[in-house]
Amino acid sequence: MKAKGSIRNHIGAIIALLCAGIVVLIDQVSKALIVDNLVTEGNSVTVINGLLNFTLSYNDGMAFGLGSSVFRWVFVGIMVVVGGILIYFMFNPKYNSPLFLSAAALVIGGGIGNAIDRVLNGYVVDFLALSFFPPICNIADYAITIGTVLLLIYVLFVYGKNDKKQVVNEPVEFLADKDE
């Protein structure tokens, strides 16, 4: 009986991890389709004229094409550590906010997507070339970026707000009980 309640307490985290898996799947399938269809690095297909091209690029550096291949295993290690920390917090009821869980799912899914490329190939396949954002990226890069922004919003504007309200309300409730 206790295990059943435990699963209910963690259903948000479980759903978030499934969403992370969907991010990984979309990332890996999109990369495979691009590699199979654009074939050689530098080939480009216009998707939305003046806004979006699919341009095949192999990135052995950091996010958005920065850095070098020297850091291959460092990136994989960072992903394992960050992913592990996020998963730990996801299963803590204190952080059971949909915003936090969504942010964590995006960061974990994107991190795993790029880690798969780094482990198997030694590089990450990039292909999304936006006209207003110079680096060529992939789905995983954008998932990590959006997840990080959501995580910052959570930390700055959501986390601890309920705790502060309870602290402010407790003395008022205490005084109200004392007068009765």
Q: Return phi, psi of residue 62, to 5°.
A: -85, -170
- 10-residue mean pLDDT profile of the chain (180 residues): values are 63 96 98 90 90 92 58 81 94 91 97 94 93 92 97 92 52 51
Q: What pLDDT is recorded for position 74?
A: 80
Choose the catalytic residue: 36, 60, 126, 179. 126
**How many structural domains does the chain have?**
1
DSSP state of 158: I
CB of 110 closer than 8 Å to CB of 144: yes
Using the CB atoms, write b or e for 111-130: b if 16+ within 10 Å: bbbbbbbbeeeebbbbbbbe
- State how far the Cα of 111 lies from the Cα of 24, in Å rounded to an integer: 8
Q: Of residues 141, 163, 177, 179, which has the active-site annotation?
A: 141
pLDDT for position 168? 42
Rounded Cα–Cα distance for residues 124 and 135 (Å): 13
Amino acid 105: pLDDT: 98
Q: In degrees, to the nearest 5, what angle opens at C-alpha 146 toward C-alphas 155 and 116? A: 115
Domain extent at residue 40:
2-179
pLDDT the model gives residue 68: 60
Instruction: Mark whether 126 is an active-site residue.
Output: yes
